[in-house]
A and B are shown apart, each in its own frame.
Chain A
Amino acid sequence: MHRTKFRWHIVIFLTPAALVYTAVMIFPLFNTLRLSFYNEVGQERLFVGLENFRTLFLDPIWSTQFWNALANNFRFFIIHMLVQNPIGVLLAAILSHPRLRCAALYRSAIFIPTILSFVIVGFAWKLILSPLWGIAPNMLDAIGLKSLFEPWLGKEAYALTTLALISVWQFVGIPMMLIYAALLTIPEEILEAAEIDGITGSSAFWKIRLPLILPALGIISILTFVGNFNAFDLIYVTQGALAGPDFSTDILGTFLYRTFFGFQLQLGDTYMGSAIAGAMFAIILLGVCVYLFGIQSRMRRYQL
Chain B
Amino acid sequence: MSKARTNLPISLAMHTVLIVYTLIALFPVLVILLNSFKSRKAIFRTPLELPNSETFSTVGYDTVLSQGNFFLYFQNSMVVTIASLFTILLFGSMAAYALSEYRFRGNTLMGLYLALGIMIPIRIGTVAILEMMVATGLVNTLYALILVYVAQGLPLAIFILTEFMRQVSQDLKNAGRVDGLNEYQIFFRLVLPLVRPALATVAVFNMIPIWNDLWFPLILAPGEEVKTLTLGSQVFIGQYVTNWNAVLSALSMAVIPVLILYTIFSRQLIRGLTSGAVK
Contact = CB atoms under 8 A, between A and B. Distances in A.
Contacts of B262: 112, 115
B110 interface: yes
Contact of B123 (A114, A127, A180, A230): A230
A147 interface: no
B86 interface: no
Interface residues of A, number: 90
Interface in A139-156: none
A200 interface: yes
Nearest to B95: A17
Interface stretch (B21-29, B58-66, B166-174): B21-29
A259 B72 CA distance: 31
A201 B116 CA distance: 42
Nearest to A281: B124
B187 interface: yes
B125 A113 contact: no
Interface residues of B, number: 92
A118 B212 contact: yes
B138 to A, nearest CB: 10
Contacts of A17: 91-92, 94-95, 114, 154, 158
Contact of B29 (A113, A232, A261): A113
A133 interface: yes
Contacts of B273: 174, 177-178, 181
B22 A90 contact: no
Interface string B223-240: 000000010011001000
Interface of A: 7, 9-10, 12-14, 16-18, 20-21, 23-29, 31-32, 35, 87, 90-91, 94-95, 97-100, 106-121, 123-125, 127-128, 133-135, 138, 169, 172, 174, 177-178, 180-181, 184-185, 191, 195, 200-201, 204, 219, 222, 226, 230, 232-233, 236-237, 253, 256, 260-261, 270, 273-274, 277, 280-281, 284-285, 288
| Pairs of residues from A and B, 6 with the lowest C-beta to C-beta distance, nearest first | A28-B125, A117-B212, A31-B128, A24-B151, A28-B128, A13-B98
Given A17-B95, A127-B32, 10 more contacts: A17-B94, A18-B114, A25-B125, A31-B132, A123-B237, A127-B244, A134-B44, A138-B47, A232-B214, A237-B214
